[in-house]
Amino acid sequence: MLRLTFNENWPESWKLTYIYDEIELWGSRSNLGYFYQYRIRRGWAIRSVEQLVAVGSEILDVAAGGGNFTLPLAEMGYRLTWNDLRSDLAGMVQQKHEWGQVEYAPGNIFEIAREWENRFDAVLALEVIEHVAHPDEFLAGLARVTKPGGRLFITTPNGAYFRFALPRFSDCPDPSVFESVQFKPNSDGHIFLLYRDEIQTLADRAGLYVEHIAVLTNPLTSGHVKLGHLLPLLPESLVMGIEQATRKLPRILCDKLHCQMVAILRKPGQA
């Protein structure tokens, strides 16, 4: 993946994505908490795909933004379809693209997924489901485009984390009231936060079963509750060692102390 040089004439969406790229990919130390949090999530997703999905398989990356999962997986030999509602970002991803097979399919995933029934061996929906008014319909749509036996890789903020206060999806009697504000990027676009039990319920409704669910990223690695001030002073090995240690706590504490939830869901049957 190529590292771009900032251009003042870029569209605003490119400029914002570039700022995140510098933190997420290239190690800018302007926000170490965000860097560690993203690195942990990205590492989990890419390792999980590598372990569970055969090279050469077809993968859909939903709301893929700057292509920071799309492009490395394409370079690893997977056949990627990049999707995002912000069609102008496709041009930026194309400029970052060095090699590997990538198809660009911008647009509203609720609409274009109707053409892709049982197409993909795997689907990535990373930090997406919390931005939609109907996460149940969203997950059901992703299940439809996944081949029998295929997997969905999901990441989302962990609703049980002690600092989060957004409502549970299951506590909202009429999610349609949020349709006018869905699809907004970044954390201010979060509508609901999901819990382990809700992931299980949504998977059941979509005809999927949960293969794996876990929480990641403690307050230190995310830089929360002012612990971000310590990160420039601590060696990375210590930070990641503490991260690994807190994941081994009893589940009730683990859920309270980690801000990220990850899940692997599988569609029954064989391709």
CATH of the domain at 250: 3.40.50.150
pLDDT at 34 over 70: yes
**Within-domain flag for 171:** yes
Confidence at 271, pLDDT banded by 50, 70, 90: low
Mean pLDDT of 9-32: 91
pLDDT higher than threshold 70 for residue 266 = yes
The answer to whether residue 168 sits within a structural domain is yes
Nearest Cα to 187, choosing from 123, 259, 109, 252?
Answer: 259
Question: Is position 5 within any domain?
Answer: no
Confidence check: pLDDT of 270 > 90:
no
Closest CA to 199 of 268, 248, 130: 130
What value does the mean pLDDT of the chain take?
94
Burial class (CB in 10 A: 0-12, 13-18, 19+), 233: exposed
Q: Which residues pair with 260 in a beta bridge?
A: 157, 216
Token pair 């060696």 is found at 235
**Is residue 6 a part of any domain in this protein?**
no
Q: Is residue 1 assigned to a domain?
A: no
Domain region containing 225: 12-266
User: Which pLDDT score, from 0 to 100, does residue 189 have?
Assistant: 82
Residue 197 lies in a domain: yes
- Confidence at 199, pLDDT banded by 50, 70, 90: very high
Tokens linked to 58: 């077809």
Residue 18, pLDDT above cutoff 70: yes
The region, left, alpha or beta by phi > 0 then psi within -120 to 50, assigned to residue 263 is beta
Domain assignment of residue 3, yes or no: no
Question: 172 pLDDT band (50/70/90 cuts)?
Answer: confident
CB 124 within 8 A of CB 98: no
For residues 124 and 145, what is the distance between their CA atoms, to the nearest angstrom? 12
Residue 7 forms part of a structural domain: no
Predicted TM-score (pTM) of the model is 0.94
What's the domain count of the chain? 1
